[in-house]
Amino acid sequence: MDERTINEIEQVLPLGTVDAAARHAERMAQKTGEFLRNLGLAQTTGADSGPVCFPAEFLLELAAIIQRADWEEKGLTDSIGECPSNVINELRQLLDRLVGESDCFRSGDAAIEGARLSRATLRVWLERFAWNAPELLQAEVALGNMDEDAFIDQLAEFLWRHRDDFFQPTSEESSNDQAN
């Protein structure tokens, strides 16, 4: 994508969407590479080391399957409103396509268009997760659908229960409290 296209996209999407999607894509690329290395498909050392090439559409779909498996493993599918998918079945279908119909995978921009599961998974992540949580908290944070009043009530209860954890009096405040 050229700079002009990115600028046009950023004008119609909420602030930070493109940045968040790029960071998410980078994390998923790392997880996908780790998955392939664990299977022995991506050698990083030794005589057999070197680049292993897979079609872009395959890698996008594999990353989506890995993401969905992660959500299921962490028990997040209910809280994000996603029906649990059959990850093993999705992976089997993807591998069957790779082995039996490898020429069906597209390249370039067409690969992105063809990666339906990847697009759907990214959409769910953008709509239902806190975008900055992985960097700030080293965890995925699912955002639920909560009534605004209920949220305020629960936040107030939480802050009240933990008021001593958050607000430590300064030495001057402690002196004033003891004097009174």
d(CA 98, CA 104): 8
Averages of pLDDT over runs of 10 residues in the chain (180 residues) are 58 75 91 89 66 82 91 79 74 84 66 73 85 83 77 85 74 60
User: Which pLDDT score is estimated for 76?
Assistant: 78
d(CA 55, CA 53): 7
3-class DSSP state of 140: coil
User: Which pLDDT score is estimated for 65?
Assistant: 92
User: Which pLDDT score is estimated for 132?
Assistant: 85
Identity of residue 100: G
Q: Which of 120, 137, 139 is CA-nearest to residue 81?
A: 120
